[in-house]
Amino acid sequence: MFIDELMLLGYRGIAAIVALVMALQVLRSGDWREQVYAAMVFVPFALRAFGVK
Amino acid sequence: MRARITAQLRGWLILAAAMAVACASGVVFFNMHPREPVYPGPGVTRKAMLSDYAPAFQHSPADTPVYILEGKAPGPTLLVFGGTHPQEVSGMLAAVLLVENVRVERGRVIVIPHSNQSGFTYTEPLEAFPHEFEIPTAAGARRFRLGMRLSNPVHQWPDPDLYSHYPSKEPLIGSEARNLNRAYPGRPGGRYTERLAHAILSLARQENVDVVLDLHEAYPEYPIINMIVAHERAFEIATMTAVSLQARGVPMNIMASPKNLHGLTHREFGDHTQAQALLSETANPAMGRFRGRTDEALVVEGKDENYIAAAKLKRLFVPFDASGHPLSSRVARQIVTVEELLNAWNDANARRPFAIAGLPAYEEIRSQGIGAFLHPAP
């Protein structure tokens, strides 16, 4: 495996963590604005985690 | 307690909506990855994969078909690249026309229609490019992917602040690390695009290629347009090609490949292989900064009011009127450049000529359209 492939895998891992944290924030927050903002961040990071964007 | 339950319920609804948006977007992005079919014509004697020359690419997104059209009589070998820059669609389509139409009687023609397969899998954000375009054929439309100039960041990431070309150490802006035409000669242990460049150069070496032609497009406000850029060893056949094209009423200029501009096909294939290396450019208004609405019509018909205005202000390097620069004309230019390049080679190498048949004629492509020479959609 090449170094750039490892970096991409690491990036996808980090993106997966961000997406997960945002999903938890949507479920835990009591403020609807925080929930919407977290959902907006969730979408691109979920796509990055799966390597399609 | 009730407020807490309401917030949780709202959270689940918002999360479900976000997941639906992610899934819908994911389907759009995922649909850019399947490869469009190319139907080998009667002249294709062998279909290989790039990974046959560089086994590390097997099952990787960079792997791409290589079509070999070999004549019964031995002769020289021409290697044609389409899709080095997937946004420059006339090069890819001209390469597809070669694969689906040409028969070689003497010598060999090797064609790679999608040289940088990765670049066909995305479009740049905020540029509003269509993802596909359609070419009508006798039995229905064939759809082709519109890609971008660089490798997809999902295949090579991150971009360095400054890209240092190997081995010259010439510095370039970081995103050019994903530009196949700045990555030659490449290296087997380098980044994705460098490895791809190394694999393609290895193919040229292993197949003892004599002539390399890389088919490109540029925006009408770019000075290197309707141009053949040639390595110094290819200057004789480039000059003869350009003169023949001019005589046929196809405006074409020539330019020497700069010795201090590294990574490009016309420089590195000339320096690192025995091949005479050339690159051709046509004018594509869908790539330019003056363009208006960017849709399939602009890609295929090549008409744009902004460019007509820019031409009146003498801001362009090609004429631009209401007829525009249709894709059929641009593909015809690429095909007639191949034809005249082969004639020039034959004039300069009378004892070792090419003999090919089935090449679509310049005027026929312009009048009948590209679809008349494409395999009908199944």
B205 within some domain: yes
d(CA B6, CA B334): 64
Q: Which of B211, B195, B207 is nearest to B80 (CA)?
A: B211
Look up residue B263 and give its DSSP letter: S
Q: What chain B residue is nearest to A30 in terms of C-alpha separation?
A: B7
What 3-state class would DSSP assign to A14? helix
Shared domain for B5 and B109, answered yes or no, is no
Shared domain for B150 and B2, answered yes or no, is no
The per-residue pLDDT for range A1-53, each reduced to its tens digit, is: 678 888 889 999 999 999 999 999 999 999 999 999 999 999 999 999 998 88
Query: What CATH number does the domain containing B358 carry?
Result: 3.40.630
Interface of B with A in 152-171 (CB under 8 A): 154-158
Total CB pairs under 8 A between chain A and B: 72
B147 within some domain: yes
Residues of B in contact with A52 (CB under 8 A): 26, 29-30, 33, 154
CB contact under 8 A, A4 and B11: no
Shared domain for B24 and B142, answered yes or no, is no
Shared domain for B89 and B6, answered yes or no, is no
If residue B370 lies in a helix (H) or strand (E), which one and from where to where?
none
Shared domain for B238 and B366, answered yes or no, is yes
Shared domain for B252 and B273, answered yes or no, is yes
**pLDDT per residue of chain B (378 residues) written in tens, 0 to 9:** 788 889 899 999 999 999 999 999 999 999 999 999 999 999 999 999 999 999 888 888 889 999 999 999 999 999 999 999 999 999 999 999 999 999 999 999 999 999 999 999 999 888 889 999 999 998 899 999 999 999 999 999 889 999 999 999 999 999 999 999 999 999 998 999 999 999 999 999 999 999 999 999 999 999 999 999 999 999 999 999 999 999 999 999 999 999 999 999 999 999 999 999 999 999 999 999 999 999 999 999 999 999 999 999 999 999 999 999 999 999 999 999 999 999 999 999 999 999 999 999 999 999 999 999 999 877
What are the residue ranges spanned by the domains of chain A? 3-49
Shared domain for B86 and B223, answered yes or no, is yes
B141 within some domain: yes
d(CA B56, CA B35): 20
Number of domains chain B is built from: 2
Give me B22's structure tokens: 């992610």
Shared domain for B14 and B124, answered yes or no, is no
Look at residue A1 in the predicted model and tell me its pLDDT.
64
CB-CB: which of B22, B156, B158 is closest to A43? B22
Shared domain for B22 and B170, answered yes or no, is no
B329 within some domain: yes
B349 within some domain: yes
Residue type, B317: F
Q: Which of B200, B150, B195, B146 is nearest to B175 (CA)?
A: B150
Shared domain for B57 and B145, answered yes or no, is yes
- Helix ranges (DSSP H) in chain B: 2-30, 89-101, 192-206, 235-247, 265-272, 296-301, 305-312, 327-348, 362-368
B378 within some domain: no
CB contact under 8 A, B15 and A26: yes
Shared domain for B71 and B124, answered yes or no, is yes
B215 within some domain: yes
- Helix ranges (DSSP H) in B102-256: 192-206, 235-247
Look at residue B252 in the predicted model and tell me its pLDDT.
96
Range of the domain at B354: 38-373
Shared domain for B102 and B7, answered yes or no, is no
Sign, CA dihedral B328-B334-B335-B337, equals positive
| Contact between residue B187 and residue B194 where contact means Cβ atoms under 8 Å apart | yes
Within an 8 Å CB–CB cutoff, is residue A14 touching chain B?
Answer: no
